Amino acid sequence: MLGATAILGLTALSACTRLDALNGLNAITPGDGETLQLAADIPFGPHSRQMLDIYGPAKPASAALPVIVFFYGGSWNSGRRQDYGFAARALAARGFIVVVPDYRLAPAFAYPSFVEDGAAAVAWTAANIGKHGGDARRIGASGHSAGAYIAVLLALETAWLAKAGAPGAIKAGVGLAGPYDFLPFEPNGAADIAFGQWRDLKATQPITHVRADAPPLLLLAGDDDDVVFAHNGKNLAAALTARGAPVTLKSYPGIGHIGILLALSKPFRGKASALTDTADFFARHLG
């Protein structure tokens, strides 16, 4: 389940002032190749939260690049795409086109609204990313915390992408500190508010949808995470392994729930190898 500090910790992380400051600090810290925001405020649906931004390397590529759709976290009740430029640029500097979508949030929009939005964003990417230098045949999904939940669920449960018109679009996935097996919910906690009204709670859990033909997954976590507990990744990895599905589980010593995300930024990159591990994994599995 989610830890008792989930709402406080994730809401603090998604506060605009903190992440705006990190984006600015990241921009003036040396390292990485030059990147560009290739497009902004692109709608992938009619709601104001159904919009996305696109990042890529500044140097034109000779061929279409592999693509990562990155979903941010925030207890399914907070966050905005503009604050995650540091994560998108970090991956773009390693040769990827990176799409960062918003999605509808609880409590106004409970499950499965944010999953449907994630699927719609991937479907938009599959249909349109060629116009922005990406290869629609090589799409990976990643995310942190609640965003990792969306990315991994879309990779495992085939119905969402099929319904959105992009069956099988996700070829690989990386989850950072994601909740994948978090029943029962804490009463009135973030997960209860986002999922508690759904008639089949087991269906909301990524671990319910393990399958032998799942795309390769990399599950990353910090061993000091007291927001999303370690059993989430361990249980999912064990279930996938039992089915013969390709999965890798890695934990970083001394890293907490927020630290694993901050390690994508240049100022905090030395704390954990999350960026290198993510980029190398996608490079192998997206070709």
For 140-175, write each residue's pLDDT tens digit. Answer: 999 999 999 999 999 999 999 999 999 999 999 999
Nearest CA-CA partner of 209 in 273, 144, 156, 140? 156
**Structure-model confidence comparison of residues 9 and 255, the more confident one:** 255
Domain-embedded: residue 1 = no
Contact (Cβ atoms closer than 8 angstroms) between residue 146 and residue 74:
yes
Domain-embedded: residue 162 = yes
Q: Any idea which of 27-36, 114-123, 246-255 has the lowest mean pLDDT?
A: 27-36
Asked if pLDDT for residue 12 goes beyond 70, the answer is no
Domain-embedded: residue 211 = yes
DSSP state string for 1-36 = -B-TTHHHHHHHHT-HHHHHHHHHHHHHS--S--EE
Two tokens, residue 149: 């939940």
Domain with 31, as residue range(s), is: 6-286
Two tokens, residue 274: 């999350």
Domain-embedded: residue 65 = yes
| Averaged pLDDT score across all residues of the chain | 93
Residue type, position 190, single letter: A
Domain-embedded: residue 55 = yes
Q: What is the 3-state secondary structure (H, E, C) of 234-270?
A: HHHHHHHHHHCCCEEEEEECCCCCCHHHHCCCHHHHH
pTM metric for this prediction: 0.94
pLDDT, position 8: 35
pLDDT, position 16: 39
Q: What's the number of domains the chain is made of?
A: 1
Q: How confident is the model at residue 11 (pLDDT cuts 50, 70, 90)?
A: very low
CA distance 215 to 264: 23
* Model confidence pLDDT, tens digit, residues 200-235: 999 999 999 999 999 999 999 999 999 999 999 999
Q: What is the CATH number of the domain that holds 145?
A: 3.40.50.1820
Domain-embedded: residue 244 = yes
Domain-embedded: residue 131 = yes
Q: Which of the listed ranges 1-5, 23-27, 217-221 does the model predict with the highest average pLDDT?
A: 217-221
Two tokens, residue 9: 């910790």
pLDDT, position 9: 39
Domain-embedded: residue 137 = yes
